[in-house]
């Protein structure tokens, strides 16, 4: 192992290499390495035509993280899970400047292990029935992208997808501390992501592994049980300046994200959502409390929260004193327990009970380990298929959505009824008032990309859709409204703003007042009896 500068590390990268980049969401980006690679290209025009694979692309929605590589000529091909934090790459995809594929985040995470083990790829049912399977688009994101990287295969009479393994030339990763032999620990990182599997995959492909750290120590000073990347896998270590090694894009360091502070109050309280987001989050919490009350064992429910409005659920739960009340949150990055951070710290978990490798958590997710998942939705159509990936000119990528929506025992989709400009207000006398309607309809005739299909691989057959003005039950072939916000009417606030016919429950109920008020949800949890819903047909 050699200790080198970020500029020396960037000089090692050759034209047409396939790279894997560390990081998850707003956490763990090897910023010093990516910045040096960007500067080398801008100053010298090389390297060129790189390919890249990532599970959850680290970025700040602007210029940092993998956004630094968004220069014409620098990149040729990308395989990515979650793209939303890298809008500059999305622009290149829309302009047909690069070849681009969207794979489920859990598949990419498992792909590193497959490559490390010398396997031809990942064989799974994850993605069947979505735009990722070959018959429905193969995960290709633009017209420039024509090659098939996914095969539909049959095993014992059942359909599976074979995601074909690429050969990896280089890994740009990040840790906290390295010793003189290249052993790396991650004690101050918010997550472990897939750093071990990425390093193993690259080494077994004949490539080089470069790790950015913030501290160097002599051999013998690291606890071997804390080492996440053994030195035999590491070729080069780069010592990063503090300003290039923030724990998240929102916070330079938060001790509650890595277990250094793990008792009592978190260092930073979550910001409470407002407006429509607040209503949706509180109604979703009521649903979570209902499932918690009705669980059949004392074992807490394992809950997953998606990005976007579902993030607000964690904030409401934390500020309401509900954490640990019969449920624990989990984040795909590998953290379990505590409350998921939002904003520019998405991907971190405050006061986690445990932090696993990302692939290990997706093993459990894929097998049905999530008791209830709260996911966002971009649009839903006549057949109750949901799109979260490609919306207008945005390329979000499916992230972990496909893995989770196909395997979770219960699904709650959360989002505003319309998008772009929606403003609402509430008072006890008039109920919910739509002050400004959103410009974009979200209940449409046909979604542009299928990310979830209740008639496909989904385990859950009783999903709900929660908006600020109504709650819907998702059936296999139709959408049914079961609750309506006080102050709203079907004729004024629902029917004119959707493109399809919906069923109206014969016993249409008002949305609970607790979703709109400031009533204590903790007290509600103690005293309220929750009803059950019949399963969808």
pLDDT 10s digits, 1-51: 999 999 999 999 999 999 999 999 999 999 999 999 999 999 999 999 999
pLDDT of residue 372: 97
pLDDT of residue 485: 98
pLDDT of residue 295: 83
pLDDT of residue 145: 98
Q: Give the pLDDT confidence of 319-362 residue by residue, as tens digits.
A: 888 888 899 999 999 999 988 988 899 999 999 999 999 999 99
Q: Please give the residue that has the higher pLDDT: either 236 or 526.
A: 236
State the pTM of this model.
0.95
Q: Give the pLDDT confidence of 409-441 residue by residue, as tens digits.
A: 999 999 999 999 999 999 999 999 999 999 999
* DSSP states along 358-423: HHHHHHHHHTT--SEEEEE-SEE-TT--EE-SEETTEE---TTHHHHHHH-SEEEEE--SEESS-E
pLDDT of residue 533: 47
pLDDT of residue 528: 59
Q: In the chain, pLDDT over 70 holds for what percent of residues?
A: 96
Q: Where are the beta strands (DSSP E) in 106-260?
A: 121-124, 150-155, 158-164, 170-174, 177-179, 184-185, 208-213, 215-217, 227-229, 236-239
pLDDT band at 527 (very low <50, low <70, confident <90, very high): low
pLDDT of residue 265: 53
Residue 332 a catalytic site member: yes
pLDDT of residue 531: 56
Q: How far apart are CA 179 and CA 182, in angstroms?
A: 5
Region 308-313: mean pLDDT is: 87
Check if 2-244 and 275-527 are the same fold.
yes
CATH 3.40.50.970 is the classification of domain 275-527: no
The ranges assigned to domains in the chain are 2-244, 275-527
pLDDT band at 530 (very low <50, low <70, confident <90, very high): low
Q: How far apart are CA 530 and CA 537, in angstroms?
A: 22
The residue from 332, 379, 468, 514 that is catalytic is 332
pLDDT band at 262 (very low <50, low <70, confident <90, very high): low
Region 515-523: mean pLDDT is: 85
pLDDT of residue 462: 79
On average, the pLDDT of the chain sits at 94
Q: Which CATH class, in words, describes the domain spanning 2-244?
A: alpha beta
């Amino acid at each position: 192992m050699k200790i080198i500068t970020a500029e020396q590390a960037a000089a090692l990268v050759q034209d047409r290499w396939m790279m894997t980049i560390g990081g998850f969401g707003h956490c763990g980006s090897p910023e010093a390495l990516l910045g040096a690679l960007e500067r080398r290209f801008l100053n010298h025009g090389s390297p060129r035509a790189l390919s890249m694979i990532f599970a959850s692309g680290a970025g700040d929605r602007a210029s940092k993280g993998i956004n630094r590589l968004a220069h014409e000529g620098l990149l040729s091909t990308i395989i990515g899970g979650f793209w939303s934090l890298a809008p500059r790459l999305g622009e290149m995809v829309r302009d047909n400047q690069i070849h681009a594929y969207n794979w489920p985040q859990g598949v990419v995470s498992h792909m590193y292990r497959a490559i490390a083990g010398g396997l031809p790829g990942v064989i799974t049912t994850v993605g069947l029935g979505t735009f990722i399977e070959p018959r429905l688009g193969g995960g290709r994101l633009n017209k420039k992208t024509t090659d098939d990287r996914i095969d539909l295969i049959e095993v014992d009479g059942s359909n599976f997808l074979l995601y074909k393994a690429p050969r990896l030339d280089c890994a740009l990763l990040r840790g906290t501390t390295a010793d003189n032999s290249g052993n790396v620990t991650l004690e101050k990182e918010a997550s472990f992501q897939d750093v071990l599997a990425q390093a193993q995959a690259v080494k077994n492909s004949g490539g080089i592994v470069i790790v950015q750290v913030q501290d160097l120590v002599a051999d013998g000073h690291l606890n071997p049980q804390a080492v996440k990347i053994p030195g035999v896998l590491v070729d080069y270590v780069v010592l990063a300046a503090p300003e290039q090694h923030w724990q998240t894009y929102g916070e330079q360091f938060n001790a509650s994200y890595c277990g250094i502070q793990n008792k009592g109050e978190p260092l930073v309280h979550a910001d409470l959502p407002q407006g429509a987001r607040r209503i949706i989050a509180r109604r979703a919490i009521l649903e979570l409390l209902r499932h918690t009350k009705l669980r059949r064992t004392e074992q807490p429910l394992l809950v997953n929260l998606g990005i976007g409005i579902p993030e607000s659920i964690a904030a409401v739960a934390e500020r309401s004193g509900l954490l640990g009340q019969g449920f624990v949150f989990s984040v795909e990055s590998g953290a379990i327990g505590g409350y998921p951070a939002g904003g520019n710290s998405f991907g971190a978990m405050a006061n986690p009970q445990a932090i696993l490798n990302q692939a290990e958590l997706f093993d459990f997710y894929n097998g049905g380990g999530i008791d209830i998942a709260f996911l966002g939705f971009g649009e839903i159509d006549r057949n109750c298929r949901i799109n979260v990936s490609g919306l207008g000119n945005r390329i979000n990528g499916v992230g972990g959505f496909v893995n989770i929506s196909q395997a979770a025992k219960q699904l709650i989709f959360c989002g505003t009824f319309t998008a772009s400009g929606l403003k609402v207000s509430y008072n006890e006398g008039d109920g919910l008032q739509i002050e400004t309607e959103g410009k974009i309809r979200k209940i449409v005739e046909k979604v542009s990309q299928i990310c979830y299909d209740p008639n496909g691989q989904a385990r859950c057959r009783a999903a709900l859709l929660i908006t600020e003005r109504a709650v819907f039950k998702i059936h296999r072939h139709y959408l049914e409204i079961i609750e309506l916000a006080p102050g709203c009417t079907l004729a004024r606030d629902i029917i004119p703003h959707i493109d399809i016919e919906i069923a109206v429950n014969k016993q249409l109920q008002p949305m609970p007042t607790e979703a709109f008020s400031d009533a204590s949800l903790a007290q509600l949890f103690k005293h309220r009896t929750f009803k059950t819903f019949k399963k969808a047909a």
